[in-house]
Chains A and B, each alone.
Chain A
Amino acid sequence: GAVVSQHPSRVICKSGTSVKIECRSLDFQATTMFWYRQFPKQSLMLMATSNEGSKATYEQGVEKDKFLINHASLTLSTLTVTSAHPEDSSFYICSARDKTSGGAYEQYFGPGTRLTVT
C-alpha cells in the first residue's frame, strides 16, 4: 500500500516551453501533497505544500507564477514549470500524506521526475 506515482519519469524540453508533472496517490487519498526539488548531490528542498481544493503554499524564494501547482482531487496534484530555463533542470519529487494516517508527518514519496531544459 501507500504508492505514489509520478509522470513522466524523465522529460527534456526546450527553453521557454512549459512542462507539466503529475503526482498521483494510487491506493490512498491524499489531502496534502508536497513538491520538492533536488539538485545533484544536494538534499530535498521543499518548494510548496498543496492541499486539495485550495491554493498551494509556497516556500520562501519559490516563484508561484513560475511553478504552478494544482491539487484538483484527493489523488492528483500537478506541477507546471512555466517558461522553463536551463537552471530549472532538476529532479522534482512529490510526496503525499495519507488522509487517514494518524502520523501527521508521514509522507510517501513518488519516484521523481528528471527535468532537463535545453
Chain B
Amino acid sequence: GQNIDQPTEMTATEGAIVQINCTYQTSGFNGLFWYQQHAGEAPTFLSYNVLDGLEEKGRFSSFLSRSKGYSYLLLKELQMKDSASYLCAAGWGGKLIFGQGTELSVKP
C-alpha cells in the first residue's frame, strides 16, 4: 500500500524560511512531486525529485532521501502570495498518490 504524511497546517512570517516535510511509504517508488494549490484552483507543479539530494528552483527547493522515505519543500523569502496548500505526491504505478496537503499561512 501507499501512505503519505505531511503536517496539516503551518504558519510562517513574511520574509522567513519555512520547511514542509513529507514522509512516504510506498511499495515501489518513482519519484516525489511537490505542488502548490490555491483555494479553488488546480495544483501547479513546483518540483520533482527522483534521486537523493536537493533540487533548487529559485525560492523553492526540494530534498529527497529515498532510504528514509522523506522529502521536504523549502520556501525562502516568504511572500504573502505563498499562502496556499502544498501537496506532496509520490509516483507509483504510473499514478500520483497525494498526501493530505499542508496549509501554509504567511503572516506579515
User: CB within 8 Å of B: which residues of A?
Assistant: 32, 34, 41-46, 49, 91, 93, 103-107, 109-112, 114
Main secondary structure of the interface of A (DSSP, over half): loop
Contact count band on B: 20 to 34
Cβ-defined contact, A46 with B41, below 8 A: no
- Interface residue B58 (Cβ < 8 Å from any Cβ of A): no
Cβ-defined contact, B31 with A105, below 8 A: yes
Within 8 Å by CB of A110, from B30, B42, B101, B103, lies B42
Cβ-defined contact, B41 with A34, below 8 A: no
Cβ-defined contact, B96 with A46, below 8 A: yes
In the complex, what residue of chain A is closest to B88 when comparing beta carbons? A43
Cβ-defined contact, B42 with A112, below 8 A: yes
Cβ-defined contact, A42 with B101, below 8 A: yes
A-B contact pairs, 20 of them (CB 8 A): A34-B96, A42-B101, A43-B87, A43-B98, A43-B99, A44-B87, A44-B98, A46-B96, A46-B97, A46-B98, A104-B91, A104-B94, A105-B91, A105-B94, A106-B48, A107-B96, A109-B42, A109-B43, A110-B42, A114-B40
- Interface residue B95 (Cβ < 8 Å from any Cβ of A): yes
